[in-house]
Amino acid sequence: MFRIKRDPAKLLASAVARSTQTLGVFPLLMNYSFDKSRLPKGMSYPLKRSVLDETLEREAISKIYVVYYWLRQSGDVVMRADYCGVATKGRFAAGQSSVTLYAVPSAERKQTETLLLEKGLPSLCAWLKRAEEAGNAWRGKDHHLAVRYADGRLSVAEF
């Protein structure tokens, strides 16, 4: 039996090359952790990661520490953002946000994507920008944004 030896330096260079694709003439500067769940048949993610990255980059959103693409367990939330307050000393994510996109039934993917592009992403970006620019009182606490899809409509709520 033989093993294929892989050069770690080449693997790293390849990964860096893939993560620094260009958007027009501007390099993508998104630097966050990423976790994506495998989906069962009949489920789809409503938004491509490249679309999310392009939108965040265009809106100059930079304080994202992780993006999750996960299988929704229950409820109607299709996208969520969580801000980790800076008053939570010692937490790695303090002062940064996470974004989670949840899978939807494949039959609802196209309509959900259209609504996310029209209303969900603009609301998300405005909220994330506000989180980055807010004063100390707001940034001191945790904050959350939920984008819900139900009955062919999208709603956005902060909590």
Task: Evaluate whether residue 39 is within a structural domain.
Answer: yes
Task: Give me the number of domains the chain comprises.
Answer: 1
Task: Evaluate whether residue 49 is within a structural domain.
Answer: yes
Task: Evaluate whether residue 37 is within a structural domain.
Answer: yes
Q: How confident is the model over 123-154, as pLDDT tens digits?
A: 999 999 999 999 989 999 999 999 999 999 99
Task: Evaluate whether residue 122 is within a structural domain.
Answer: yes
Task: Evaluate whether residue 3 is within a structural domain.
Answer: no
Q: What's the whole-model pTM score? A: 0.79
Residue 77 three-state SS: strand
Q: Residue 50 — φ and ψ, nearest 5°?
A: -60, -35
Task: Evaluate whether residue 106 is within a structural domain.
Answer: yes
Residue 54 three-state SS: helix
> The domain containing residue 126 runs over which residues?
8-158
Task: Evaluate whether residue 149 is within a structural domain.
Answer: yes
β-pairing, 43-44 vs 64-70, is unpaired
